[in-house]
């Protein structure tokens, strides 16, 4: 007869222990679903005085996923998301695509370091990433339209950085629930 069976093992084929791995059900649809929710939040109409205080939800979600799962959020995916955002917002075709790709590129490059930071330091990094994205958008629009817009974009970057801890915690809970790693 076989000896005692260790917890987590199943006894098969006589005395040879075989590891039983419970992978659970992975919910791969969570990442696209969070991007869809970010698109919906981006498309919601906002009064003009409040326009500058609305963060770029798509960028925040892209930053989170590129930090949490750099292998699943590629620059190509960010380019496609940005192109779709260009189509949805009736903006200059390719401007959001370029800025989202650059955003994810820098996020992925810094992912291993930034993930170890406390949330307030991550928020500072997010502020820098959002500011670089806004600067790229300003340069693109100035090159095409020869005009500069107001400061509302920069306040949106600050609001996005202030909302980063909440965004991080919500998306982290979704990622853990979905068992994505």
Instruction: Per-residue pLDDT tens, the chain, 181 aa: give them.
Output: 555 555 555 555 555 555 544 455 678 899 999 999 999 999 888 887 788 889 999 999 999 999 999 999 999 999 999 999 999 888 889 999 999 999 999 999 999 999 999 999 999 999 999 999 999 998 998 888 867 776 777 899 999 999 999 999 999 999 999 998 8
Please enumerate, as own/partner, the contacts of 38-47 that have beta carbons within 8 Å and a separation of 24 or more: 39/84, 39/85, 39/88, 42/85, 42/88, 42/89, 43/88, 43/89
Strand partners, 12: none
pLDDT for the residue 12: 53
- Asked if residues 68 and 171 have their Cβ atoms less than 8 Å apart, the reply is yes
User: Who's near 74: CB < 8 A, 6+ residues apart?
Assistant: 104
Tell me the DSSP string of 63-94. Answer: HHHHHH-TTTS-HHHHHHHHHHHHHHHT--TT
Residue 147 CA from chain centroid, whole number: 30
Global confidence as pTM: 0.83
Strand partners, 9: 19
Residue 29, token pair as written in the block: 């649809």
């Amino acid at each position: 007869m076989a000896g005692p069976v260790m917890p987590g093992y199943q006894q098969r084929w006589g005395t040879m222990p075989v590891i039983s791995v419970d992978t659970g059900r992975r919910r791969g649809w969570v990442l696209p679903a969070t991007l869809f929710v970010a698109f919906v939040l981006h498309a919601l109409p906002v009064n003009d005085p409040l326009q500058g205080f609305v963060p770029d939800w798509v960028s925040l979600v892209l930053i989170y996923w590129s930090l949490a799962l750099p292998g699943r959020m590629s620059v190509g995916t960010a380019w496609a998301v940005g192109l779709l955002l260009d189509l949805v917002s009736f903006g200059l075709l390719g401007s959001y695509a370029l800025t989202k790709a650059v955003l994810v590129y820098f996020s992925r490059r810094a992912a291993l370091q930034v993930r170890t930071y406390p949330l307030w330091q991550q928020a500072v990094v997010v502020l820098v990433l959002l500011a670089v994205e806004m600067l790229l958008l300003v340069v693109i629009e100035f090159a095409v339209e020869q005009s500069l817009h107001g400061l509302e974009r920069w306040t949106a970057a600050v609001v996005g950085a202030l909302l980063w801890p909440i965004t991080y915690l919500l998306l982290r809970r979704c990622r853990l629930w979905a068992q994505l790693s």
